Amino acid sequence: MLTLDPGSLSHRERYFLLIGSIVPRPIAFVSTVSGNGTTNVAPFSYFNGISSTPPLLSVAIGSRDGNPKDSWRNIEETGEFVVNIVHEGIFEKMVAASADFPPDISEFDETGLTPVPSERVTPPRVKESPIQLECVLHKLVKLGDPATPTALVIGEIVLAHVRNELYLEHGHIDPEGLRAIGRMGRQDYVRTRDRFERKRPRS
């Protein structure tokens, strides 16, 4: 067994340790809008659900050259965002949207994804995504060194849009139809087609 003290690793080695060990990670394709109205959509895999009641989720957004990434800045400015779930059909467009575009360029225009108006928040949803979660900012916690800060963004889901055919009895989501994509280490991804069922013990 190797014993690794994160403090003695380089930034890259810490990054590789986390993204290779905590796998697979879901991908939040986050749409936002800036104070001057430019739309933005970018993927984040430091993403998870936190609680069902209230319906909270978290997305951790880093910085670029010490400055908040556009999505972080937009969420801080407007207090709103939409998490669009990534499935196989929009995988390539999600990857394209992760490029470093200047703040005045909309990734919707660059990728050809279709913005559709949200109902409770200002940022548009991604039409091609099978599940879209409209969120208001619950809390933004700034973490880490001021030279390379990260924002832990906690959002409350105020409205969910789910494609009809994916919404099954009792409110279950059809995983086969959803075809979600997950992120692994390096540049690797996983499909979610290899699943198995195992009931929890009763006591």
Ligand X SMILES: Cc1cc2nc3c(=O)[nH]c(=O)nc-3n(C[C@H](O)[C@H](O)[C@H](O)COP(=O)(O)O)c2cc1C
Least separation in angstroms between CB 167 and ligand X? 26
Site for ligand X in 129-188 (CB under 6 A): 183
Q: Does 80 bind ligand X (CB under 6 A)?
A: no
Q: Longest Cα pair distance anywhere in the chain, in angstroms?
A: 56
Interface residue with ligand X among 43, 124, 130, 155 (CB under 6 A) is 43
Residues 84-103 close enough to bind ligand X by CB under 6 A: 95, 98, 100
Give least dist CB 197 to ligand X, A.
27
Q: How far is the CB of 142 from ligand X (least distance, A)?
A: 13
The least distance separating ligand X from the CB of residue 88, rounded to whole angstroms, comes to 14
Q: Which of 69, 87, 93, 125 binds ligand X (CB under 6 A)?
A: 69
Residues in contact with ligand X, counted by CB under 6 A, come to a total of 17
* d(C-alpha 185, C-alpha 169), whole Å: 35
C-beta closer to ligand X: residue 95 or 136: 95
Q: In angstroms, what is the minimal distance from the CB of 77 to ligand X?
A: 12
The distance of closest approach from Cβ of residue 70 to ligand X in the complex, given in angstroms and rounded to an integer, is 3
Q: What track of x and - describes contact with ligand X for positions 8 through 27 (by CB under 6 A)?
A: -------------------x
Token pair of 184, please?
């692994």
Q: Examine residue 45 and tell whether it contacts ligand X (CB under 6 A).
A: yes
Nearer CB in complex with ligand X: 141/168: 141
The DSSP string of the chain is -----GGGS-HHHHHHHHHHHS-SEE-EEEEEE-TTS-EEEEEE-SEEEEETTTTEEEEEE-EETTEE-HHHHHHHHHSEEEEEE-BGGGHHHHHHHTS---TTS-HHHHH-PPEE--SSSSSPEETT-SEEEEEEEEEEEEES-TTS-EEEEEEEEEEEEE-GGGB-GGG-B-HHHH-BEEE-STT-EEES------PPP--
Q: How far apart (Å, rounded) are the C-alpha atoms in residues 25 and 77? A: 27
Give the residues lining the site for ligand X (CB under 6 A): 27, 40, 42-46, 60-62, 69-71, 95, 98, 100, 183
